[in-house]
Structure 1
């Protein structure tokens, strides 16, 4: 399995490129870890992706429909999980709701990949103690669904990706101000609004979409999240 490589490592900041977990149906040898093993696949009509480096204690659970629960503790290691679709699209309007309670470095984001070219992207709705936009080059701003977002871009050099170790671009929209964590949270992300804004500043996604999920990530932190995606 390809490990989760983060912006904490790359630029001492928020998480960066995390690779698609190997699908257990494709011969992935499950490694012993605290909590649930890394995996991806389908559940109740949704694609899910879950990865942990095993350094902390974490449990990812697929619930009914588009809901998942993630708990993590130990203030150690890196983990990410969420539900959505595979493949993603350029026009999907994503709704999410639930609870998000991070303690430390974490974020809640629409997250995905494209190929041709290989691009990793994030629409960050909320985050814990670190603002990811402070560690990337700002390219502009956009208003989507009545909220303002900073548009940012970073480069990952020889890092894990859905296609193995590669050099690729990361595209970001970071909500400003963020939705406050620490309890109930909900919102709508019009991916087409963000993707068009990125294109307008010269940030072009690939023509071939891979997965597109609402992800909860934790890095050397702890917390809980129960999120429903639709």
Structure 2
């Protein structure tokens, strides 16, 4: 989302807590998706399940996370294995995806289609608790490519060049800050790619941006004040 438009999303309840969004330090983490133009079908997925309310869990052997601020229409369809689809129309903010209950150093492969109309991201996205960090490895984006004043260099990985940024959010009424770490692709991959997360973690560490205490990590579709659709397979 645009840094000047970032809504005051709550920090997730970590380690399996529920999807409450009461404050910046008590939000349930999730990838925001908006339901949108056209409908995605998941052929051959006997275990398909469509959800429209914030939740997380395990589906067909893969962790999933879904969060929406409730604005507009957003629906996430959980398909077989690592597959999921999102349709969103006139969303406020949402995040949705499949991946792993515990993040870390992985070679993440994703394929499919990411088709935003307006502002959206396709990212490897996760949380860590020591310190409290929300992180994005943005592989594809819509009408807005995120940039931030605190630019901390670049990282080359998997045939792509990413800009590294750090942002900080200060919760109202609290003392614990939320840092956000970013790697943002100078290109935009919308049909698939490979992300070696350890290369980004190492680059962040060299820039003074450390991670520890990993929570979930997903290949996430996110939308902000936009519409669109995605159909993603996490490998």
TM-score grouping bracket, smaller chain normalisation: 0.7 to 0.9
Equivalence for 2:156 = 143
Deviation at 1:175, TM superposition (A): 0.4
Paired positions, count = 206
C-alpha distance 127-61 of structure 1, shift in aligned 2 (>3 A):
same
What are the residue-to-residue correspondences of 1:29-178 with 2, within 5 Å?
36-73=52-89, 75-89=90-104, 91-133=105-147, 135-158=148-171, 166-178=176-188
Deviation at 1:16, TM superposition (A): 8.5
Q: Write 1 or 2 for the structure with the bigger share of helix.
A: 1
- Cα distance in 2, alignment partners of residues 117 and 22 from structure 1: 13
Closer/same/farther in 2, CA of residues 112 and 27 from structure 1, 3 Å limit: closer
Runs of 4+ aligned residues of structure 1 deviating over 3 Å after TM superposition are: 13-23, 25-29
Q: State the TM-score, normalized to the length of structure 1.
A: 0.81
CA distance in 1, matches of 2:18, 2:163: 40
2:65 and 2:101 map into 1 onto residues whose CA distance is: 10
Instruction: For structure 2, list consecutive stretches of 5 or more residues without a partner in the other structure.
Output: 21-34, 36-50
Residues 161 and 185, structure 2, Cα contact 8 Å, conserved in 1: yes
Question: How far apart, in 2, do the equivalents of 1:132 and 1:27 lie?
Answer: 29
For residue 166 of structure 1, report the CA deviation from its aligned partner: 3.9
RMSD of aligned Cα (Å): 2.6
Q: Hey, what's the Cα distance between the residues in 1 that align with 2:117 and 2:134?
A: 25
Instruction: Report the TM-score when normalising by structure 2.
Output: 0.80
